[in-house]
Amino acid sequence: MLKHILEELTQDTIHLRVPESSPVGTAIGSVKATDADTGKNAEIEYRIIDGDGTDMFDIVTQKNTQEGILTVRKPLDYESRRLYTLKVEAENTHVDPRFYYLGPFKDTTIVKISVEDVDEPPVFSRSSYLFEVHEDIEVGTIIGTVMARDPDSASSSIRFSLDRHTDLDRIFNIHSGNGSIYTSKPLDREISQWHNLSVIAAEINNPKETTRVAVFVRILDVNDNAPQFAVFYDTFVCENARPGQLIQTISAVDKDDPLGGQKFFFSLAAVNPNFTVQDNEGIFQI
């Protein structure tokens, strides 16, 4: 008489361990059921049917060994959860209808998965930082602060530093203990309107664990430049020029950048009754 009975999973409870840094798809262990049948009648399908980790782990059947391979489905975090319990079922995939009365052709086991702590690098409070500062601030002024923490349960203090490759002129500095960025040289918007820095956070207990974050510093304009004539003017006038005749148009430029655009006022440096200047919507005529 044909026999087709799944006997049992080899263990009632299986204990597995997995580092929290394991990527999605990592195989963390296996379960295996025994079956007295052979060939097609011994084929088994594994599935997770219950537990508090059904969304965190998957199980796939290894056809050549008839084992169930457990894999990571979502990123793990030791600090959030350290133990998961799964209920795994193994079931024959081919059952002869004549032997249904001998069923069920399945068995279950409990799988406990312990998540192991891994030393993780610091985590900044933002993915990047933007600070705005006026160009006329005093040297030593704090322009902003970055924050980072150690995500591990045994939290380590953090030390901050600037990547000097992003600040070759050493215009900025940072307090290593609290992440406050301050100026070490005068700022000049007319030389550079933006500074793109990179700040490094390192664990004091394990300096090899580091993280970087981008810090963008925008320099705001201050009216600190005098206007200049656009070109050097060398003007000639004929002695028979008529009164009111235009002899030269002049304009000026300014390195500053006020919101409404530059407004200039022109006047003669010395009083001369033979000449006057006239406003022509920002361009002056003599």
Whether residue 23 has a cis bond before it, omega within 30° of 0: no
Decide if 6-116 and 123-220 have a common fold. Answer: yes
Q: Encode pLDDT of 188-243 as tens digits.
A: 888 899 999 999 999 998 888 899 999 999 998 766 555 666 666 666 667 666 77
Coil, helix or strand for 47?
Answer: strand
Q: Encode pLDDT of 171-202 as tens digits.
A: 999 999 999 999 999 998 888 999 999 999 99
Coil, helix or strand for 213?
Answer: strand
- Averaged pLDDT of the chain: 81
CB 120, CB 148: distance < 8 Å: no
Output the CA–CA distances (angstroms, integers) from residue 10 to 13, 33, 40, 102, in the order listed.
Answer: 9, 6, 20, 20
Q: Supply the pLDDT for residue 97.
A: 54
Enumerate the domain spans of the chain: 6-116, 123-220, 223-286
Strand 106-116 to strand 13-19: parallel, antiparallel, or no bridges (unpaired)?
Answer: parallel
What's the rounded mean pLDDT across residues 257-264? 58
Q: Does domain 123-220 have CATH number 2.60.40.60?
A: yes
Q: What is the rounded distance in angstroms from the CA atom of residue 126 to the CA atom of residue 225?
A: 36
Q: Encode pLDDT of 47-72 as tens digits.
A: 999 999 999 999 999 888 888 999 99
Out of 1.10.10.10, 2.60.40.60, 3.60.110.10, 3.40.50.1100, the CATH code matching 6-116 is: 2.60.40.60
Q: Which of 93, 85, 133, 92 is nearest to 109 (CA)?
A: 85
- Going by pLDDT thresholds of 50, 70 and 90, the confidence category of residue 32 is confident
Would you state the structure tokens that stand for residue 263, as one six-digit string? 């407004």
Between 275 and 76, residue with greater pLDDT: 76
Task: List helix spans (H) across 71-121.
Answer: none
Q: What is the rounded distance in angstroms from the CA atom of residue 52 to the CA atom of residue 54?
A: 6
- Going by pLDDT thresholds of 50, 70 and 90, the confidence category of residue 7 is very low
Q: Encode pLDDT of 99-122 as tens digits.
A: 544 555 678 889 999 999 888 899
Q: What is the rounded distance in angstroms from the CA atom of residue 96 to the CA atom of residue 91?
A: 13
Residue 38 has pLDDT above 50, yes or no: yes
Q: What is the rounded distance in angstroms from the CA atom of residue 213 to the CA atom of residue 199?
A: 5
| pTM, full prediction | 0.58
Residue 128 has pLDDT above 70, yes or no: yes
